[in-house]
Amino acid sequence: MHFHLPKPLHGWREFAGEVGIIVVGVLIALGAEQVVERIHLQTQTNHARESLKAEIADGYTQAFERRLVHSCLNGQIDRMESALLGSSSVMNPMPLYKQSSGGLFVYRAPSRPWGESVWQNVRAEDVFGNLPEDTRTTLTAYYTQLAYMQRMNDEEDNVVGTVMVLSKPVPLDATVKANLIEQLENERRRNDLMDLIASQMLYAADEVDAKPDAKTLSEIRSQSGTVKFCNAHGLPISAASNT
């Protein structure tokens, strides 16, 4: 028994040509789609890179400020401890200082939000994997340190509130003094650690080319409320490195 294949209307050669054209057209379309996807991903990656640089530059200014006021904060802690230890059974009240915003304080320290919203968005997108491996490593280390700085800044804010008691003639006994001294020494250690981490953050920001210009850093020196306080009360300003 013989089977006869149906012949195309215009012959096998013409049929093969038409199929070939269709196949080539599909391949071209798929290739074009991949090119468009790659261009779109690269555009997203470039945008993410620039957005991260802007966010890191903001973090740089805050780390820069922390380095500037490191010695001043330890100087304030020295003054609080001296006033506390120099008091007998009642606290000799320390002066209250008024902020330009109207708030009062005994201990003047920076209180900043360490932003990472861009980083969180980038981590949730495909573009993170499109960044060079060394950049991903640097960014991960930087933002791990930034999160640590935010936690310590929150802890420091609590201390700023706690030491307001030193402005009042409160009764003191050995236990109360010891507890307050312990909090102040913990704050000193925290301040030293924040200074160390700030220096590492400045270096990481340099690595990804996110360092602000000299004018921005000069404005931090002149506009920081804590720096102004330190200068007004004869407390030392540190020489911030990595600048």
Does the predicted model carry a pTM greater than 0.85? no
Say what the pLDDT of residue 38 is.
Answer: 59
Query: What is the structure's pLDDT at 128?
Result: 82
pLDDT of residue 46: 75
pLDDT for residue 239: 76
Residue stretches of the chain with pLDDT short of 70: 1-43, 240-243
DSSP state of 4: -
Is 205 in contact with 142 (CB distance < 8 Å)?
yes
Task: Show the DSSP H helices in the chain as ranges.
Answer: 12-85, 117-123, 127-130, 133-162, 174-207, 214-223, 225-232
What pLDDT score was predicted for residue 212?
Answer: 95
pLDDT score for 36: 47
The residues with which 90 forms a beta bridge, in sequence order, are 171
d(CA 39, CA 54): 23
Predicted confidence at residue 4, as pLDDT, reads 54
Task: Output the pLDDT for position 122.
Answer: 87
Tell me how far apart the alpha carbons of residues 3 and 215 are, in angstroms, rounded to a whole number. 87
